[in-house]
Structure 1
Amino acid sequence: MTRGETMLGQMMNTPLTTTSIMHFAEKVYASSEIVSVTADNPTHRYTYADAFKRVRKLANALQKLGAKTGDVIGTLAWNDYRHFELYYAISCSGMVCHTVNPRLFPEQLSYIINHAEDQYLFIDVLFVPLLEKLAPSLTHVKGFIVLTSEAMMPKDSSLKNLICYETLIASEPETFTWPDIDENAASALCYTSGTTGNPKGVLYSHRSTVLHTYATAMPDVFGISVRDVVLPIVPMFHVNGWGLVYTVPMIGSKLVMPGPKMGDGETLCALINREQVTISAGVPTVWLALLNYLDESQAQIPSLTRVVTGGAACPQPIFDNFRENHGVEVHHAWGMTEMSPLGTYNTLKPHMQAWSEAEKTKVRLKQGRPAYGVDLKIVDDNNNELLWDGKSSGAVKVRGPWIIQRYFKAEQDACDADGWFETGDVAAMDPDGYMNITDRTKDVIKSGGEWISSIELENCAMTHPAVAEAAVIGVNHPKWTERPLLVVVPKSGAAFNAAELLAYFEGKVAKWWIPEACECVTELPHTATGKVSKKDLRAQFADYHWPE
């Protein structure tokens, strides 16, 4: 070669595929356990070796059904061992595993299934009535496979070509020749929750999935060890269960899955204690349910050391309750469907260990530092990059190998001309690299020409002992354009006074930030992924009249 030419490395170019994760887990961690709750078995228990043997049987069954490379196969299922099998059998066969969120509105479900062109749907027995209503509108689906045994199959269902999962795979061989897959081939498909317009599809590749799996396993991210027992409560139909369905087998940890009981505090407590769970992951509403049960029952969870929370800003009382009453550390994570989903993760840096608990908590409440692989910046309205000084606040943009370039079937890229994807979040970055999200772009409140953070107000409200859940929205105001309205769900049996709660903000936030009024409700609207639906809340209070 001549001077100036690029010298190429001489290392193997092994494809990064989910098949490699499967082979590695089965070879090195064959005896590690998978424990799950299902509708037909409250405690199903088997090993990775057992799981991947059934995965091969399922791959043969898919082939017999006529499913081909590139076909999209849908799932509507909870976190359990059969859903785990589907993840690997579909993707490793060269097909696309499309996890469908059953909590979406029926018209959104029909749109998603038709847009994805799902060929078959694997459904939990609990979702059969839902699919019976949707079936007439589904244009591509050739059959429905119910994830249960023959004894638990629904009787007299109107669904055509209804197949029992266990019967489907029972007679299939335990061997299967896995195809060679291009690492850039599509592996999985997940749709956004569609808060504005129709949901959008995000198509992950094998390469992006494997790189994301490496990142989540890092010590200052999930930091999982083979000695851990992991309970993913975040649904497997929500951004690949935050990637844990890949990370845990790669590390070889014991995997515990709660099935349809993911929101039940008593079941979660029992699972944690029986299986000696050390790490868990879920949205804040899940942790509220668990903590409420623990408070009421006086139960303890001694094996649990840390939990990961994401999907929405986590209120400080959750951090405090876990740490002070149960010795559990809570770690904020941030990301989105378009990011596979990992963006940032919060662990304290060494120099922070000597700080007071109050100082540490200020850091813990932030969304954390970017993981390697996520290039992140904040920009002003003119797209000028802002300093990481902890004060400058701007729109968050990201890029990296597991971040979306274009939505499924879209004609244009989702990122800008320089390759950056705008997340829709508004945040500040501090000198230590921690991101503090102040709002979603569409939720930020502008009052008298100045910005107010609804998230900071909500976090403050949640520290009041009488508040179970809180949300802040901007409502039209004749003088200030918008003013913050606090909407609160009081704790059961708590003495609640709106004026007292508003006074509680004094000295904790800027005086002009304090909400103009407080309204008490029995419950807040939530999205399909468990977040408070600000869109529905704004519609609910669209004609609100401020008190005199």
Structure 2
Amino acid sequence: MNGLMMDYPLTTNTILEYGNSVYHHKKIITYLPNGARHEYSFGDMYKRCKKLANALTQKFGITKGDMVGTFAWNHGPHVELYYGISGIGAVCHTINIRLSSGQIEYIINNSEDKVIFIDATLVPLLEKIAPLLETVEHYVLINAAADFKTTLPNTIHYEELIADQPEYFEWPELNENDACAMCYTSGTTGLPKGVLYSHRSTYLHATALMAPNAANISNKDTILLIVPQFHVMAWGFPYVCLLSGSTMVMPSSNLNPEAIINMLQVEKITKANGVPTIWMGVYHELKKNPPKEKLALKEYLVGGSAVPKSLMEGFDKDFGIIGGQAWGMTETSPLGTVSRLQSKHEELSDAEKLTIRAKQGVAIPGVEIRIVNDDGTLAPHDGKTMGELQVKGAWVISAYFKTKNQDTFTADGWFRTGDVSTIDEDGFMEIKDRTKDLIKSGGEWISSVALESALMAHPKIKEAAVIAIPDEKWMEKPLASIVLMDKEDGVSDEELIELLSKDFVKYQIPKDYVFINEVPKTSVGKFDKKEIRRLFSEGKLS
């Protein structure tokens, strides 16, 4: 027997209509690539989405299921593309601007984008590969001066595209299971793979994300969206902000610590998202040049990789700002778990609370997680037994776009994350490493993530990345790559070994250290250990 409820499709159009109806007065503020500040309301954005929908259908002939690419920074027009493209039943494909030319070429041809919207500052990146793009018929220039010159064919300026379009557009009836957006993985272990999100998964993810036990977002918040819109749809925040009525602040290409701190101060940001490397830079700049007035920032929301405990502790003690740790992947939309203290933790010491907060946290409603041993059995929730993290849920993929990938999913339908983790008796999950980054020395596992967090607690160390290198006796051993705060400050190997000996047994502690200028990063700001391993194998890591 079915329930007697209305059929109310959960679509991005539903999100847009709600945001315009209830929060039309709320603002989207953009710091443009040229430094200029632009502000307009959700209501203004809504009208422009309708104009965009008309332009896409009437001028370009875009229909349901067509792929439309975006190659752009975080700003108001990019938010319009999120809603205008998916609103007509097409798929908003956000292209990672930080991938290699070869990867970008592959992604665009694989997705079969018909139109690409591109920021003027990014045009040179596509000009080099435009002749190789097989399906692109038009390029739309965003934030481009009237006299902007480009070799891209069939171009039109964004404002010109929508200028003469009506503000009325009747959204088509969409099935909530229709595709609405797509991101590709960063391709660190091969060619990037497409993750195709549905309207339903996007809606459910957004409602779960703003809940108190997740990001805890409301109409009282002003949120700085540092996470790129091409990285898992900015973690879903452009959808969350319309549902919650939060003011959106978009930094475009202004991502250096000084620019971010300026936005935090001027706009009175209450929450912001970003990967740990962003927050490391912000923290060190704040320490160097403390703000004259206390920041309004209450919490920075972090994902992408583990946050060093020392960074969380520094923000806590020095600035009274809490770090909210979460875990997720492109394949999980991305939110899977969040680490928030519970009432049972109130009596713990600050150090004990920090240990819990530094874990990746508990699964949020709509997601299930489990740890599986090598023999296929489920690991106990003891906080010690390590195994592969597997996940399923309402916004977790069931397959990659145009890819045969049976090994990525278990026979009973769980997604294999490739993360090695533990879960404790309270359900708090902790990432120990990526499968490919775990170090096995003399038959014993060593977590590179734990070593990195401990090394970055040293006051003279800015970044630390640990990889496995061959060893005649133990098969593998850890090597630590260190970036110092100040190149003039020396840190001896003996000093680092002594530091680590407080928390690690002898076989786990690296005996080999190299000091480098910068840890290589992936396109989304994570430590690129694949590149570090390549540099080591070629004798260039020094």
* TM-score for both structures, normalised by structure 2: 0.97
Amino acid at match of 1:15: P
8 Å CA contact 1:333, 1:368 repeated in 2: yes
8 Å CA contact 1:114, 1:139 repeated in 2: yes
Match of 1:95 in 2: 90
Match of 1:80 in 2: 75
Count of matched residue positions in the alignment of Structure 1 and Structure 2: 538
> Partners of 2:18 and 2:303 in 1: how far apart?
29
Q: Work out which of the residue numbers 260, 279, 283 in structure 2 matches 1:291.
A: 283
CA displacement at 1:51 relative to structure 2: 0.6
8 Å CA contact 1:231, 1:281 repeated in 2: yes
Match of 1:370 in 2: 363
Matching of residues 303-318 of structure 1 within 5 Å: 303-318=296-311
Q: Work out which of the residue numbers 494, 502, 511 in structure 1 matches 2:506.
A: 511
- The answer on 1:124 being equivalent to 2:119 is yes
8 Å CA contact 1:335, 1:344 repeated in 2: yes
- The answer on 1:16 being equivalent to 2:10 is yes
> Partners of 2:475 and 2:285 in 1: how far apart?
42
Amino acid at match of 1:491: M
- The answer on 1:53 being equivalent to 2:51 is no
8 Å CA contact 2:309, 2:355 repeated in 1: no
RMSD over aligned CA atoms reads 1.5
CA displacement at 1:435 relative to structure 2: 0.6
> Partners of 1:411 and 1:396 in 2: how far apart?
21
8 Å CA contact 1:150, 1:167 repeated in 2: no
Match of 1:185 in 2: 178
SS in 1 for 2:381: coil
* CA offsets 1:76-133 (integer angstroms, 9 cap, x no match): 1111001000000000110000000010011000000000000011011111111110
SS in 1 for 2:272: strand
SS in 2 for 1:541: helix
Match of 1:439 in 2: 433
SS in 2 for 1:431: coil
* CA offsets 1:113-155 (integer angstroms, 9 cap, x no match): 000000011011111111110101101000111112543x522
Match of 1:455 in 2: 449
8 Å CA contact 1:57, 1:169 repeated in 2: yes
- The answer on 1:481 being equivalent to 2:475 is yes
Matching of residues 209-288 of structure 1 within 5 Å: 209-262=202-255, 264-288=256-280
Amino acid at match of 1:109: I
> Partners of 2:430 and 2:208 in 1: how far apart?
21
SS in 2 for 1:422: strand
Match of 1:521 in 2: 516
> Partners of 2:466 and 2:474 in 1: how far apart?
16
> Partners of 1:314 and 1:325 in 2: how far apart?
17
Amino acid at match of 2:296: S
Match of 1:415 in 2: 409
CA displacement at 1:380 relative to structure 2: 0.4
SS in 2 for 1:486: strand
Amino acid at match of 1:219: P
Residues 508 and 545 of structure 1: CA distance in aligned 2, closer, same or farther (over 3 Å): farther
> Partners of 1:383 and 1:189 in 2: how far apart?
32
Structure 1 segments (4+ residues) deviating >3 Å? 411-414, 543-547
Q: Work out which of the residue numbers 487, 510, 531 in structure 2 matches 1:536.
A: 531
8 Å CA contact 1:150, 1:166 repeated in 2: no
Matching of residues 350-369 of structure 1 within 5 Å: 350-369=343-362
- The answer on 1:328 being equivalent to 2:321 is yes
Amino acid at match of 1:328: I
Q: Work out which of the residue numbers 159, 176, 181 in structure 1 matches 2:169.
A: 176
SS in 2 for 1:375: strand
> Partners of 1:161 and 1:544 in 2: how far apart?
46
SS in 1 for 2:128: helix
> Partners of 2:263 and 2:335 in 1: how far apart?
26
- The answer on 1:66 being equivalent to 2:58 is no
SS in 2 for 1:405: coil
> Partners of 1:519 and 1:104 in 2: how far apart?
27
CA displacement at 1:474 relative to structure 2: 0.6
SS in 2 for 1:250: helix
> Partners of 1:31 and 1:427 in 2: how far apart?
44
CA displacement at 1:400 relative to structure 2: 0.9
> Partners of 1:254 and 1:108 in 2: how far apart?
34
Match of 2:36 in 1: 42
8 Å CA contact 2:532, 2:541 repeated in 1: no
CA displacement at 1:40 relative to structure 2: 5.0
> Partners of 2:538 and 2:110 in 1: how far apart?
36
* CA offsets 1:453-483 (integer angstroms, 9 cap, x no match): 0010001000011100001101000000000
Q: Work out which of the residue numbers 478, 492, 497 in structure 2 matches 1:497.
A: 492
Amino acid at match of 2:33: A
SS in 1 for 2:216: coil
Amino acid at match of 2:326: A
* TM-score for both structures, normalised by structure 1: 0.96
Residues 412 and 468 of structure 1: CA distance in aligned 2, closer, same or farther (over 3 Å): closer
Amino acid at match of 1:123: I
8 Å CA contact 1:517, 1:546 repeated in 2: no
> Partners of 2:374 and 2:490 in 1: how far apart?
44
CA displacement at 1:530 relative to structure 2: 0.5
CA displacement at 1:485 relative to structure 2: 0.6
Match of 1:115 in 2: 110
CA displacement at 1:546 relative to structure 2: 13
Q: Which moved more, 1:499-508 or 1:24-33?
A: 499-508
* CA offsets 1:14-39 (integer angstroms, 9 cap, x no match): 11101000000000001011101113
8 Å CA contact 2:516, 2:541 repeated in 1: no
- The answer on 1:145 being equivalent to 2:137 is no
> Partners of 1:431 and 1:527 in 2: how far apart?
34
Residues 52 and 294 of structure 1: CA distance in aligned 2, closer, same or farther (over 3 Å): same
CA displacement at 1:545 relative to structure 2: 12
Amino acid at match of 2:79: F
SS in 2 for 1:345: strand
CA displacement at 1:494 relative to structure 2: 2.7
Match of 2:421 in 1: 427
CA displacement at 1:320 relative to structure 2: 1.4
Amino acid at match of 1:54: R
SS in 1 for 2:537: coil
8 Å CA contact 1:502, 1:517 repeated in 2: no
CA displacement at 1:543 relative to structure 2: 5.7
Residues 279 and 478 of structure 1: CA distance in aligned 2, closer, same or farther (over 3 Å): same
